[in-house]
Amino acid sequence: MRPTRPADTGERIIAHEGPESIEWLPERVSSNGKLSEGDRIRMSIEAARTGYLYVVDQEQYADGSKGEPYLIFPTARNRGGENSVKAGRVIEIPAQDDSPPYFTLKQIRVDHVGESVVVLVTPTPIQTLTITDKAQRLSAETPALWEKSWGGQTGRLSPNLRKFV
């Protein structure tokens, strides 16, 4: 993120930092766009059906392996834990009024080359989950079980990802 300048146009985010508010400018990133450690991002997701949204993130490593899966949405810090979605309605994660209104990319290992993000919309809430204020580590089997239970046709989508520069 960077503070806005008078010549900037487009959406701005006001963040409460220190004694005064600062406006930040987001920038759209394509699905194959490069992100770096420290980048601040927000995802915009439009569900194809009404249900309950879950987002799982896994790090990808240079050797093709993946890190542990984490449920990054819902959390109590993002949209107050509310994960119901309606078909055709766009939601942002984190929402503009969440604090902070972005995720920050952190590199845990030197061979970290990317992220694998799975977006799942279920017809009913997942009863075995308790929403907490932090991302939850999942067992390696959990995303596969969810995909088996609720998965349909899958493919690579071009997410509406915004990077704050």
What would the pLDDT profile of 110-144 be if each residue is shown by its tens digit?
A: 888 888 888 888 889 998 889 999 999 999 888 88
Q: How confident is the model at residue 21 (pLDDT cuts 50, 70, 90)?
A: low
Q: How confident is the model at residue 10 (pLDDT cuts 50, 70, 90)?
A: low
Which residue segment(s) compose the domain that 116 sits in?
A: 33-164
Residue 76 lies in a domain: yes
Residue 82 lies in a domain: yes
d(CA 138, CA 7): 44
How many distinct structural domains can be found in the chain? 1
User: What confidence tens digit (pLDDT) does each residue in 35-62 have?
Assistant: 777 888 888 888 888 999 999 988 888 9
